[in-house]
Amino acid sequence: MQVTDWLRTDHLPHIWCTGCGHGTVLGALIRAMEKAGVDRDRTVAVSGIGCSSRAVGYLDMDTLHTTHGRALAFATGIKLARPDLKVIVLAGDGDLAAIGGNHLIHAARRNLGITTICLNNGIYGMTSGQLSPLTPGGYRTTTSPHGHLERDFDLCRLVQAAGATYVARSTSYHVQQTILLLSRALAHDGFAFVEVFSQCPTYFGRRNRMGDPVAMLEWLRDSTVPAGQAARMTPEELRGRWIIGELHRATDVPEYSRSYRRLIDRLRGADGGPDAPGAVEGTPLPEQHPDVEAARAD
Amino acid sequence: MQGNEACVEAALAAGLGFYAGYPITPSTEIAELLAERLPRAGGVFIQMEDEIASMAAVIGASLAGARAMTATSGPGFSLKQENIGYAAITETPCVVVNVQRVGPSTGLPTSPAQGDVMQARWGTHGDHPIVALTPASVLETYVLTMKAFAIADALRVPVILLTDEITGHMRERVVLPEPEPLPRPGRSRDGGRGNGQTYDVPPMRHFGEGRRLLVTGLYHDESGFWTESPEAADRMIRRLVNKVERRKAELTLVDRWYLDDARVAVVAYGCVSRSALRAVRQARSRGHRVGLLRPACLWPFPDHEIEAIAGTVEAIVVPEMNLGQIAGEVERAAAGRCRVIRYNRVDSELIRPDELLPVLEGA
């Protein structure tokens, strides 16, 4: 398998900066799709706005490049209209943790079968380096020139609490692990979330004097701890380090689009199928329809 | 039944496959009824986490092949605007029902208004195509909802059904037309991506057909890939806008009453047009040569209809439940050939025939 088999090579070179980690993550996703046996003609990749979202332009499959933060909401419509399609969301940290945070927690809550990949470089790259909710504490950006005072999200814990049934984290340094985790996420039946730390040497690295892209990859390596090793470490030892690996997996929660199909089947079965009264044609409305006057409120 | 119910009946008859919405009065009956009935018809209803997500999910479902709609009101319509623009630039068919209420902001919840006429046209940023239909009765809500789906599919545009709290909640005895299958045009299986052919309205393609589509809100060329070429950008946006504008004549829906000998014409739409018709009839019975032109398609605006009457009448009266959003369009189309008299209410009260009558008689 060549990675380029999955790419619209006529639209390369890509727009990403030299040393950006996003290409590494895209390559890992392609290898993971190959590994998981994804049928690309029955798969849709959806993205929002930002550097990472341009990835869908290069993937040679059905792709949807949407509005800022809304990739998961668009993906929800696709998955519910066509539950047989595999739906992948590729989004940045600004997309998922800031403007699209509401969609993230609700997609997780529903356990809708979408494989969501957060390419987290901790910065708004497309707009040249502003603060993100995932910018680590103390780091400088163009909108936190004095070092920022906010706390950053632990996005994996957030989506797990919201109801995601597969949660994992990796980095662009840990390529083989990223491939493995993404392939498991793709095979998972439910809302799967993989956060992949990615380096932005142009805006994050330069402003924080982190050196070249290789130095940033070493920073990613040194600031992360595999989940197994983390289990044997004290809170003091873990301070300032991110746990990578498979963080959560649940298999006892029904996937939402199939639950909805079962509801349709049950209702249509109970009604005797599509030709039954009340199914399609203009038949009397249900008795329990609320009185309009009583419903006058905000 | 009430107007909101008629909207639901029409959507189901049109073969609605997907509805996403968020509760907001006075449109909520549409969501409640579809939550009950759409899954029974094999479609999917979902209450999304917010108005923005509802619009996004509708577009996603449409791209996946479902006939899709949402319904909302004032504040929700504002929130949907960015993604309505996305539907316009990606040429994704969808229907957005806006049961108008008094704004701006939370306004007077939830009393009627016609304040979203200009927002329906220009609510999203940038030049873009849009079609907006405005019914004046329960039956017409049914007819125009069906038509909205047909236009959305035929032209690959978002279509706004601009109703209002009165039309949405008013109950009338109606005999619904026999449901007829609404064919989905433009879905030929010939051709492929990037075949270099230029279209007025490109054939609709869906995800999951093995075509490996790229759909983007960026300016794009005929292959679908984003472009920064000024020539391709200019070509794309002019084609998008013109595909609606050049069909203005066939999209125009007007009713005319007593215009042949009219000295004064009323131009009214939606709920107000019914008061206007009564006022016109009263004025006629008192010997005044007054007529009524009622557009049911506001966007594209029927300039040619206004031009035609502006040359034959002395004055056009435009009663609206806003501060003159369509009156400005009428003035533009009339271009000084006759006087244009505005009559406006924004206090949540319907304009009554008896208050219009002296305006017509004094015009």
Handedness of CA A176, A179, A180, A181 (dihedral sign): positive
Q: For residue B25, give the chain A residue with the closest CA.
A: A298
* pLDDT the model gives residue B189: 44
- Average pLDDT rounded to a whole number, residues B114-129: 98
Strand partners, B21: B47
Please give the pLDDT value at position A221. Answer: 97
> What pLDDT score was predicted for residue B198?
63
Nearest CB to A282; choose among B9, B48, B169: B9
CB within 8 Å: A286 and B1: no
B110 touches chain A (CB under 8 A): yes
Mean pLDDT, residues B200-207: 93
E-only strand ranges, B44-93: 44-47, 68-72
What's the confidence (pLDDT) of residue A286?
37
Q: How confident is the model at residue B214 (pLDDT cuts 50, 70, 90)?
A: very high
CA–CA distance, B111 with A297 (Å, rounded to integer) = 10
Predicted ipTM of the assembly: 0.96
Q: Which residue of B has its CA nearest to A10?
A: B225
Top residue of B216, B218, B220, B226 to mutate, by most chain A CBs within 10 Å, is B216
B29 touching A, CB under 8 A?
A: yes
Query: CATH code for A3-253?
Result: 3.40.50.970
* Count of all residues that appear for chain B in the document: 363
A81 CB neighbours in chain B (<8 A) are 17-18, 44, 60-62, 64-66, 68
Whether the CB-CB separation of B114 and B320 falls below 8 Å is answered with yes
Q: How far apart are CA B215 and CA A261, in angstroms?
A: 27
Q: Please give the pLDDT value at position A295.
A: 38
Q: Which residues contact A218 (CB under 8 A, 6 or more apart)?
A: A173
Q: Which residue would you say has higher pLDDT here, B94 or A270? A: B94
B132 — contact with chain A (CB < 8 Å)? no
Would you call A294 an interface residue with chain B, using a CB distance cutoff of 8 Å? no
Q: What is the mean pLDDT of chain A?
A: 91
A62 touching B, CB under 8 A? yes
Minimal CA separation from A282 to chain B, in Å: 6
Residues in chain A: 298
Residue A75 with chain B: CB contacts under 8 Å: 60
| Closest CA–CA distance from residue B57 to any residue of chain A (Å) | 4
Pairing type for strands B44-47 and B18-21 reads parallel
Q: What is the pTM of this model?
A: 0.94
The band of B192, judged by pLDDT with boundaries at 50, 70 and 90, is very low
Selected for mutation to probe chain A from B8, B37, B40 (highest A CB count within 10 Å) is B40
- How close is the nearest chain A Cα to the Cα of B353, in Å? 24
Question: From the CA of A8, how many Å to the nearest CA of chain B?
Answer: 10
Determine the pLDDT at residue A89. Answer: 98
Q: Looking at chain A, which residue has its C-alpha nearest residue B8? A: A282
Residue A298 has pLDDT above 70, yes or no: no
Mind listing the pLDDT tens digit for each residue in B228-250?
Answer: 999 999 999 999 999 999 999 99
Predicted confidence at residue B184, as pLDDT, reads: 78
Please list the residues that pair with B94 across neighbouring strands: B158
Which chain B residues touch A290 with a CB distance below 8 Å? Answer: 29, 32
Put simply, the chain A residues between 3 and 32 with a CB less than 8 A from any chain B CB are 8, 11
Mean pLDDT, residues B142-154: 97
**Domain B253-362 fold:** Rossmann fold (3.40.50)
Structure-block tokens of residue B21? 């919405």
Which whole number is the average pLDDT over A270-290?
A: 41
Q: Does residue B211 sit at the A interface (CB-CB below 8 Å)?
A: yes
Position A128 pLDDT exceeds 60? yes
pLDDT at A273 over 60: no
Q: For A23-38, what is each residue's pLDDT tens digit?
A: 999 999 999 999 999 9
Which listed CATH number (3.40.50.2300, 3.30.420.40, 2.60.40.10, 3.40.50.970) goes with B3-169?
3.40.50.970
Contacts of A289 in chain B (CB under 8 A): 5, 29, 32-33
Residue of A nearest to B5 (CA): A285
Q: Which of A243, A238, A233 shows the shortest CA–CA distance to A195? A: A243
Lowest mean pLDDT among A113-127, A167-181, A225-239, B176-190: B176-190
> Would you say residue B149 has pLDDT above 80?
yes
Per-residue pLDDT of B26-48, as tens digits, reads 999 999 999 999 999 999 999 99
* pLDDT band with cut points at 50, 70 and 90 for residue B179: confident
Domain ranges of chain A: 3-253, 257-295
Mean pLDDT, range B121-135, rounded to an integer: 98
Across residues B333-358, what is the average pLDDT? 98
CA of A6 vs chain B CAs: smallest distance (Å): 11
Please report the pLDDT score of residue A131 as a whole number. 96
With beta carbons under 8 A apart, name residues in chain A contacting B2.
292
Instruction: Please say if the pLDDT value at position A284 is more than 80.
Output: no
Domain ranges of chain B: 3-169, 253-362
User: Which pLDDT value is given to residue A270?
Assistant: 62
* β A114-120/A166-171 pair status: unpaired
Closest-CA distance of chain B to residue A296, Å: 7
Contacts 24+ apart (CB under 8 A), B223-232: B223/B193, B223/B194, B224/B193, B224/B194, B225/A8, B225/A11, B225/A57, B226/A57, B226/A65
Residue from B215, B218, B226 to probe the interface with A (highest A Cβ count within 10 Å): B215
pLDDT of residue A271: 53
Gap between the Cα atoms of A247 and A157, Å rounded = 9
The enclosing H or E element of B106 equals: none
> By the CB < 8 Å criterion, does A163 face chain B?
no
Q: Per-residue pLDDT averaged across A57-68, rounded?
A: 98
- pLDDT value, residue B51: 98
Q: What pLDDT score does A292 carry? A: 33
How does DSSP classify residue B7?
H
Check the CA dihedral B20-B22-B27-B33 and report its sign: positive
